[in-house]
Amino acid sequence: MIEITNLTKRYGDFTAVKNIDLLVPRGELFGFLGPNGAGKTTTLRMMAGILKPTSGAITVAGVDMIADPVAAKSKLGFIPDRPFIYEKLTGVEFLRFVAGLYGQEGLDVEHRGRELLALFDLESWANELVESYSHGMRQKLIISSAFVHRPEVIIVDEPMVGLDPKAARILKDLFREYTRRGHTIIFSTHTLEVAESLCDRLAIMVQGEIKAYGTMDDLRRTLQGGEKGLEELFLRLTGENAARDLVDVLDA
Amino acid sequence: MSLTPELPDPALLHLLLPKWLTARARAASGEKGRGARIGILGFVGVLFWAFIFGVLYRLLTYFRGVDEIGALLAGKLLGLMLLGFTSILLLSNVITALSSFFLAKDLDMLVAAPVDWLKLYGAKLLETVIASSWMVVIVAIPMFTAYGIAYKGGMLFPLLAVGAMVPMFIIPAVIGSALTLILVNVFPARRTRDILSVIAVLAAGGIVLLFRLVRPERLARPEGFRSLMEFITVLRTPTSPLLPSEWVAKTTMGYLSGNPDWLSLYMLWSTAGALLVFGALLHRGLYHTGFSKAQESAQTVVKRGGFFHRLGQLVLSPFGILKRELLLKELRLFFRDTTQWSQLILLAVLVVVYVYNIKFLPLRGEGITFFLVNVVPFLNLVLAGFVLASIAARFIFPGVSLEGRTLWLLRSSPMAVRDLLWAKFWVGTLPLIILAVAIVGVTNYLLQVSDFMFFVSVGTILLMTFALSGMAIGFGTLFPQFETENAAQIPTSFGGLVYMMASVALIGAVIVLEARPVYGFLAARAFGQPIEPTEMALGFGAAALLCVLATLIPIRIAIRRLEAVER
């Protein structure tokens, strides 16, 4: 469903993403993990067609993102980590606008919009201006906007930030059900429990490279982690000496 | 589900829908003080229109009465005004295009959506045209009305004016957007924003200087020319035959004088059309690379322990750690934000032009009395005060608003609000004082005023600067714009308008209070009348007291207000 080949992104002398390959098939829930500054957001933004890769290729449902961006983007939904919503639009107007960007309108869209708002307890806020929404409510609205046009692939940067436990639970269920219906979701997260319980497969990025990639069992095998959980595997790859450093810091 | 095989194709108008809905929601919102705001803005707007219309109408009726050269003069004047518009439009389009095409917050969503490149170009260009041209439209309306009425243009004249002006708005917008697009692609990505803002400001400075060097006021003084024929020749020569402004002037004056110049109108529309095609092609080729580059942060490595850091630490060490760090923070934020300090270049150019104009005031020669030479610097205080108030509105007024997103940090720290506001006050006031003394000192020197006037004007401008800064802090806190990220927009808010009106009132009050003692002194020197010390003390004392109060009271109110803010 989404395939990236030899993908590299350089900012001046700094290489944010180094020559990565990835294949996420249809119907998969795929998680991107990694410490801050590992290159997750850059990779996701390249997949969404926002950033232009320095080199490499991205295909979405067989369509080349660079050669035919409009066709590729028509199959995508994107939820950024710092979502922007027009402050002076109401929730329902915003959903209608996003659906329109994907060429969709009419009763189906209205119905889906209402259902999504209801799902996230935003029904009574549907006609309020976004400026009156709390951070979590904005997050719920932007998530709804990614589902309103039923894209084949949804790319999400940090979906759980700011959500209350109920909304987080709903989102997890929504992700699962959506992929069960044959759609694909790729998301980055720092919540390892969510990644471990939710994702079919995972990739751990460190300094722009994919250091480990596969199912939880694959990761355990690669990292010789025995029965260890994702947190131990993650720390082994990214910061095993943290405890020693802490002592040094606190003694300083 | 409506997943059809053909690609989605949102209409151009759909992309503009949020802007339209936003405008509608703003218009419908019943926020507090909205009526008063609209009332004040409407009143100021009508006054402004009446002023422009009145002045132009008088001038044009006078021109109409002058045989031979009347229409030429009117055309020349229109050409010059439109040339000014073109420069402003070009500059404003470059700046606006950077924001609308590359920095706007909705771009992430629009670029990630399956929106055709041409639609995106069209929508963003339209946004750019509207955002950068509305001010010119506001000035152009009374201007063209004056021409239409003075020359009896008839019912169709407004149509012709609109038909001529629309391409004149499109042309600089396309050029400005293309220029921005090329610059974003050419310069190293991390520096693009910085370089663009500096270029824009330098260009603005250049335009202002150019205008001064052209000396348009020469045309108003035909006696400066050797003969009438020479004057007419200058008038007949197009100011800039290849510029759209000249085509608009020719179209308008041709129509008004009964010889319609359709070729100029055709030139306007064909150029606009050709440029649109060129701009769209350029957008197709370069936009994605440019947008991708613009996403990269303008991060720079800051050298640790540099000279300025050490100097700052040393100079500010007597203030203690908290105040020193607050002052250093203000200074760092200001100088690391290119969009902020680069405007100082423009300011410097404006000051040079201001001083240059004073230098060329015809205050030497026969009939120029001692009285006049010394009254001019006194009135100069009004203009200098207004310049300083504008600068304070741009740089000091937004200070508290810009803390909006970090207020949680400042409020949760053991820091007194008083320290924060006074740090902002001093960081803003000291450069303003240097500027104030420079403007007034240099102009006084050029005018060779008496020692008394020198002392009075420098003292007054010093006190006035403190008051204007204090009021900027006060009004900036009373009317905060915590959600605005762009500092340049904050002074254009309602609070900014109220601040400017209060500043004008203060300047007026100080001048009125000092007028009597200054007149007394000048009369004493010119006509040998005795000086009245009580009158002097009262006048100057009241002005000084007013300035001190206008400095302290707004800051006190601001402290209380900020302490009560809950965010």
Q: Are A210 and A204 in contact (CB under 8 A)?
A: yes
| Residue B172 C-alpha, separation from nearest chain A C-alpha, in angstroms | 28
The tens digit of pLDDT for each residue in B447-467 reads 778 888 889 999 999 999 999
- Write down the pLDDT at residue B65: 79
Can you give the pLDDT at residue B305? Answer: 56
Split at pLDDT 50, 70, 90, the class of B533 is confident
Testing the interface with A: which of B105, B119, B292, B485 to mutate, by most A Cβ within 10 A?
A: B292
- Per-residue pLDDT at B428 exceeds 60: yes
Residue B18 and residue A52: Cβ atoms within 8 Å?
A: no
Q: CA A49, CA B399: separation in Å to the nearest integer? A: 37
Of B322, B293, B327, whose CA–CA distance to B309 is shortest?
A: B327
SS3 B483: coil
Asked if pLDDT for residue B429 goes beyond 90, the answer is yes
The tens place of each residue's pLDDT in chain A, 252 residues long, gives: 899 999 999 887 889 999 999 999 999 999 999 998 899 999 999 999 888 899 999 999 999 998 888 889 889 998 887 767 777 788 898 898 888 888 888 898 899 999 999 999 999 999 888 878 888 899 899 999 999 999 999 999 988 887 888 988 999 999 999 999 999 999 999 888 888 888 999 999 999 999 988 998 888 887 776 767 788 888 887 875 565 677 777 887
What is B63-102 written as a DSSP string?
A: HHTSTTTHHHHHHHHHHHHHHHHHHHHHHHHHHHHIIIII
Are B106 and A86 an interchain contact pair (Cβ–Cβ within 8 Å)?
yes
C-alpha pair distances (Å), B550 with each of B384, B406, B490, B511, B554: 18, 28, 22, 15, 6
SS3 of A31, please?
strand
Question: How far B110 CA sits from the closest chain A CA (Å)?
Answer: 8
The answer to whether the Cβ–Cβ distance between A86 and B3 falls below 8 Å is no
Coil, strand or helix at B28: helix
Alpha-carbon gap, residue A34 to B63, rounded angstroms = 75
Q: Which of B79-88, B365-374, B465-474, B520-529 is least confident?
A: B365-374
Residues of B with Cβ-Cβ distance to A70 under 8 angstroms: 7, 114-117
Confidence of residue B286 (pLDDT cuts 50, 70, 90): very high
Catalogue the E-assigned strands of chain A. 2-11, 14-24, 29-33, 55-60, 63-64, 76-79, 153-157, 184-188, 201-206, 209-214
**If you write DSSP's letter for every residue of B398-464 in order, what string do you get?**
TTTGGGGGGHHHHHHSS--HHHHHHHHHHHHHHHHHHHHHHHHHHHHHHHT--HHHHHHHHHHHHHH
Contacts of B296 in chain A (CB under 8 A): 11-12
Q: Is the pLDDT of residue B424 over 60?
A: yes
Sheet holding A14-24, edge to edge: A14-24, A2-11, A55-60, A63-64
Residue B262: half-sphere exposure toward Cβ, Cα within 13 Å: 0
How far A211 CA sits from the closest chain B CA (Å)? 24
Inspect the interface and report whether the beta carbons of B8 and A74 lie closer than 8 Å: yes
CA distance B480 to chain A (A): 16
pLDDT at B470: 97
Report the C-alpha gap between A100 and B17 in whole angstroms: 10
Q: Closest Cα of chain B to A218: distance in Å?
A: 32
Mean pLDDT confidence for B393-421: 80
Residue B487 structure tokens? 């500092």
How many Cα atoms within 13 Å fall on the side-chain side of residue B14?
Answer: 22
DSSP string covering B202-213: HHHHHHHHHHHH
Tell me which amino acid residue B23 is.
A
3-state DSSP call for residue B474? helix
Which chain A residues contact residue B567 at CB under 8 A?
Answer: none
Instruction: Give the residue carrying structure tokens 């921005």.
Output: B180
pLDDT > 70: what percent of chain B?
79
Closest CA to B503 of B456, B552, B459, B465: B465
DSSP summary character for residue A210: E
Structure-token match 């400001």, residue found: B201
pLDDT digits (tens, 9 = 90+) for B14-43: 888 888 888 888 777 766 667 777 887 788
Look at the pTM and tell me if it is higher than 0.90. no
Contact: B112, A49; criterion CB under 8 Å: yes
Which residues of chain A does CATH 3.40.50.300 include? 2-75+153-251
CA A176 to CA A195: how far, in whole Å? Answer: 12
Return the amino acid letter for B226.
R
B188 touches chain A (CB under 8 A): yes
pLDDT (tens digit per residue) in B114-173: 888 899 999 999 999 998 888 889 889 999 999 999 988 888 999 999 999 999 999 999
Of residues B248 and B224, which shows the higher confidence score? Answer: B248
Instruction: Give, in order, the Cα–Cα distances in Å from B340 to each of B112, B486, B499.
Output: 31, 10, 20
Concatenated DSSP letters for B375-396? HHHHHHHHHHHHHHHHHHHHHT
Query: Model confidence at B2, in pLDDT bands (50, 70, 90)?
Result: very low
- Reply yes or no on whether the pLDDT at B10 is more than 60: yes
Nearest CA-CA partner of B31 in A129, A134, A126: A129
pLDDT tens sequence across B552-565: 999 999 999 988 77
The better pLDDT of the pair B66, B17 is held by B17
ipTM of the complex: 0.71
* Maximum average pLDDT range among A56-70, B66-80, B212-226: A56-70
Is B405 an interface residue toward A (CB < 8 Å)? no
Percent of chain B at pLDDT > 90 equals 27
Q: What is the pLDDT of residue B216?
A: 57
Query: What is the tally of helices (H) and strands (E) in chain A?
Result: 10, 10
Q: Report residue B409's pLDDT band, with 50, 70 and 90 as the boundaries.
A: low
CATH number (1.20.210.10, 3.40.50.300, 3.40.220.10, 3.40.630.30) of A2-75+153-251 reads: 3.40.50.300
Identify the residue among A11, A58, A68, A111 best suited for mutation to test binding to B, counting B beta carbons within 10 A and taking the highest. Answer: A11
Q: How far is CA B125 from CA B94, B114, B170, in A?
A: 11, 18, 9
Going by C-alpha positions, the residue among B172, B175, B168, B174 that lies closest to residue B246 is B168
- Checking if the pLDDT of B3 tops 60, the result is no
The shortest CB-CB distance from B288 to any of A52, A129, A150 is to A52
**Two tokens, residue B447:** 């005018």
